Amino acid sequence: MSRSTYKLLAPAKINLLLQIVGDQFDDNGRSNGYHELVMIMQSISLADQIHLRSLGVDRIQLHCDHPQVPLDSSNLAHRAAALMMQKFPGLSGVEITIHKQIPIGAGLAGGSADAAAVLVGLDLMWNLGLTQTELQSLGGQLGSDVPFCLEGGTALALGRGDQLDFLPGLENIYVVLGKYRSLSVSTPWAYQTYRQQFQASYAKTPAEQDARRHASGSGSLLKAIAQRDIAQIGQRLTNDLERVVLPAHPQVAVLRQTLQAQNLLGVMMSGSGPTVFGLAESAATADQAKARVRAAIADPDLELWVAQFCSHGIRLL
């Protein structure tokens, strides 16, 4: 039975690994503007809440309690509803209310998580019975991170980030996150700047790309994940985009160093940044690290959170 209102939880993600293999090519061998990646993605308990309400009229209404979130079709959650209405015409309109906890422009896939929640919610509201594969395919049309956000947990992600291999969940790992409220990084800017600076070193042929994937740090990190060896996981965190984001934003580099000076198991930037995170084995260690970073950087613009790894993506509340 479908209902006229749904509440969904949309967790953020961090990247335990993000390595750039080279340009992605279409079937005609032309670059399509994306990068071939090797990533390991992890959902965390920092999450938005999405409320959906069926509207009699064929319209999308978007509300959000965060003043900087756009409420028009530039919002990925709005685009998700528009895509669903285009694919399944004649169904109801929808009012979407986003209760924002995940910071925006942060490298934590907040917008992608909200879009994933709209796909899941409308599938239920309209009683469509879409399969996970169908939802993933719709998600891929919205953004590279949306397919991961649907299912969540821990996954190896290849291609542009949408070829997913889900791994057994990691639990009881805590994460301290820091981000300057007023600082956001545009994902296209991060990838374009990386391309300008490092394209000469990109793998050029499919064979070279394959070799690069095999030589990536994913093998040893996957082994550490399989063994649930948190110390090794912490040591093997990698993010190629740090090479362009940290030099452009020295305050993020300082925040990273400050986190690194704490008793944490590994520190890294997530996605295209500028959020940096550190891993901890206990909530107490994570809380202590957060308090020490707060004491070391007395800037009210700095926001800090403690969250936990979680083994799910979009969930009904």
Active site amino acids: 13, 145
Least CB distance to ligand C5P at residue 191 (A):
4
Q: Which is nearer to ligand C5P, 19 or 144 (CB)?
A: 144
CA angle 255, 261, 266 (to 5 degrees): 85
89 contributes a contact to ligand C5P by CB under 6 A? no
Residue with tokens 């790309």: 209
Q: Pinpoint the alpha helices (H) of the chain.
A: 76-87, 110-125, 132-142, 146-151, 187-198, 206-215, 218-226, 230-235, 242-248, 250-260, 283-296
- Using the contact rule CB under 6 A, the part of the chain among 61-69, 140-148, 235-243, 288-296 near ligand C5P is 140-148
Contacts of 255 (CB under 8 A, 6+ apart): 178, 180, 276, 293, 297, 302
Site string for ligand C5P, 141-170 (x = CB under 6 A): --xxx--------------xx---------
Length of the chain equals 317
- Using the contact rule CB under 6 A, the part of the chain among 10-18, 32-40, 246-254, 290-298 near ligand C5P is 32-40
- Using the contact rule CB under 6 A, the part of the chain among 97-105, 187-195, 275-283, 301-309 near ligand C5P is 187-195
Give the residue, chosen from 174, 180, 191, 309, that forms a contact with ligand C5P under the rule CB under 6 A: 191
The encoded tokens of residue 302 equal 């700095």
Least CB distance to ligand C5P at residue 7 (A):
26
Least CB distance to ligand C5P at residue 75 (A):
13
Contact 113, 149 (CB under 8 A): yes
35 contributes a contact to ligand C5P by CB under 6 A? yes
Contact 54, 107 (CB under 8 A): no
Q: Which is nearer to ligand C5P, 34 or 55 (CB)?
A: 34
Measured from the Cβ of residue 53, the count of other Cβ atoms closer than 10 Å reads 17
178 contributes a contact to ligand C5P by CB under 6 A? no
- Using the contact rule CB under 6 A, the part of the chain among 27-35, 79-87, 259-267, 293-301 near ligand C5P is 27-35
What is the torsion angle, in degrees rounded to the nearest 10, for the CA atoms of residue 162, residue 166, residue 171 and residue 176?
-20
The encoded tokens of residue 181 equal 């409220």
In the complex, the residues that contact ligand C5P under the rule CB under 6 A are 33-35, 37, 143-145, 160-161, 187-188, 191
